[in-house]
Amino acid sequence: MKIGFVGLGNMGGPMAANLAAAGHEVTGFDPAGVSAEGVASAASAEEAATGADVVITMLPNGDILRSVADQIIPAMAPGAVFLDCSTVDVDSARDVAAQAQKAGLSALDAPVSGGIGGASGGTLTFMVGGDDAGFATAKPLFDIMGAKAVHCGPSGNGQAAKICNNMILGATMIVTCEAFALADKLGLDRQAMFDVVSTSSGYSWSMNAYCPAPGIGPKSPADNDYKPGFAAELMLKDLTLAQQAAEAADADTPLGAAARALYAQFVEKEDGRGRDFSAMLPRLAARGRE
């Protein structure tokens, strides 16, 4: 396929490079001027989108997505697919999809899980909202960029799935860190705690696959001085999106709200910015009960 790719940062760059390595003709644009291996450079987002079968965007937030959509939708040919892989608010995803559909395009919102490692390795999970025809067209690209793509329903449902997933992740990471901090003060060895919990009812992805305690369980950012695999400020972004959606939908999410407040404190008032979201463990371990 002929693919336009807008947003070649830490996630978009490797994704575009994987598509080019698989033999697709990929033209990319990033306002920061960065490029990706095997990807031709365009002078603008419109140029990257012109004549493309599929245009993929990987952008920081809903406002930027709306702005880029205004630029590229008029440049796209009717029948092309607008595939947005950003994590944004549900309303922005649905509004951009409606704008694209009005122009005769298929629109997909397809946020990802798997982080920078998944983007580089082509093992991302895509949570996809949008029409069946667009999903069928994009499926071979999902297969290159990721290990799994789940069609979650109409436009906006990909974003809904992403923020629900990450609300669970944020809350379970916090309580996993709280449990290690409590175990320390009770004199329970961290390895013993992991051996019990990882095979008992406290099992979770945060404990078993991404343990926040250095030297315990599979290798994780905790073993690299909490350099981010998934930065705390990105977790804060996703938890904020979840709370915005919960307010709009009149959903009661008290633990999600508490997780958001803790990450806001960590990122905005402490030393969490630029650290992995699992660095909540040393933060909690250093504190007493308030």
DSSP assignment of 261-290 equals HHHHHHHHTSS-TTSBGGGHHHHHHT----
Kind of pairing between the strands at 81-84 and 106-109 = parallel
- Per the annotation, the verdict on 162 as an active-site residue is yes
CA 118/CA 134 separation, integer angstroms = 23
Q: What is the DSSP letter of 23?
A: T
Count Cβ atoms within 10 A of the Cβ of residue 115 and give its class: 0-12 exposed, 13-18 middle, 19 or more buried.
buried
Evaluate whether 204 touches 175 at the Cβ level (below 8 Å). no
Could you say which of 2, 102, 162, 237 is catalytic? 162
Q: Any residues with CB less than 8 A from the CB of 285 and at least 6 apart, and which?
A: 177, 180, 181, 184
Q: Which two tokens stand for residue 99?
A: 């704008």
Active site residues: 162
